[in-house]
Copies of this chain bind each other. A is one copy, B any other.
Amino acid sequence: MSLRHAILVLLQDQEASGYDLAREFANSIGLVWNATHQQIYLELGKLNEKDMVKFRHIPQDGKPDKKMYRITEEGRDELIRWLRKPAAPPRIRDAFMVKIAGGALSDPSSILRELEDQADLRRERLNTFEDLARKLDDRDSDKNMYTYLTLRRGILDQQAWLNWAEEVRSELRRREDLTTSV
């Protein structure tokens, strides 16, 4: 329900096309909310109908035309209304963790294999976020402070995950020692 608001947050700072937004969802805001281009184009259509955004056509040569969207007064009002209401708690749906919870059914080696794949991903993300955080030179501007805090959230999250992975490794190792020593 708040793909809408994530889009409005992005349109706060700049006029953007659906394509631009999709790219940002793959980067910056994607850290906290992700969406595909299909969803974005659909939602932009709805936002336009409700006069929360408006757009202008930009013909380009060599490239397809663009629709550059801008937030309207109504859009800003909607966003501010939403910001005032307490946020719905995120719903947790982590398939990998379902596997861990049901781990007794698989074998440790296949769990470890997938754990390492996931860990690679997390390490990669951690690096990306740390790079981005380092590049935020002026943390004293309002906007940058919130971007920084968002990145910190991502960083702490990845670190916590990696620490947990280390615990999993040592538990599984301990377990192996127990069974082989019998």
By a beta-carbon cutoff of 8 Å, the part of chain A in contact with chain B is 1-2, 5-6, 8-9, 12, 28-34, 79-80, 83-84, 86-106, 110, 114, 117, 121, 140, 142-143, 145-150, 152-153, 156-157, 159-161, 163-164, 167-168, 171, 175, 178
CA A150 – CA B99 in complex, angstroms?
10
Picked from B32, B83, B121, the residue with its CB within 8 Å of the CB of A97 is B32
Oligomeric state, in copies? 2
CA A117 – CA B87 in complex, angstroms?
10
CA A27 – CA B48 in complex, angstroms?
41
Q: Taking chain A's interface residues, is the majority helix, strand, or loop, or is none over half, making it mixed?
A: helix
CA A29 – CA B84 in complex, angstroms?
31
Best-buried of A8, A12, A31, A156 by chain B (most CB within 10 Å)? A156
Distance of A128 from chain B, by nearest CB (Å)? 14
Taking a contact as CB atoms under 8 Å apart, the answer to whether A32 and B92 are in contact is yes
Taking a contact as CB atoms under 8 Å apart, the answer to whether A29 and B117 are in contact is no
Taking a contact as CB atoms under 8 Å apart, the answer to whether B157 and A101 are in contact is no
Contacts of A98 in B (CB 8 A): 2, 5-6, 9, 29, 32-33, 87
Taking a contact as CB atoms under 8 Å apart, the answer to whether A149 and B102 are in contact is no
CA A79 – CA B101 in complex, angstroms?
13
Q: A32-B92, A149-B167 are in contact. List 17 more A-B contacts (CB 8 A).
A: A31-B92, A32-B97, A33-B95, A83-B105, A86-B117, A87-B99, A87-B114, A88-B95, A89-B121, A90-B95, A101-B146, A104-B143, A152-B167, A156-B160, A156-B164, A157-B157, A159-B160
Taking a contact as CB atoms under 8 Å apart, the answer to whether A93 and B152 are in contact is no
Contacts of A92 in B (CB 8 A): 30-34
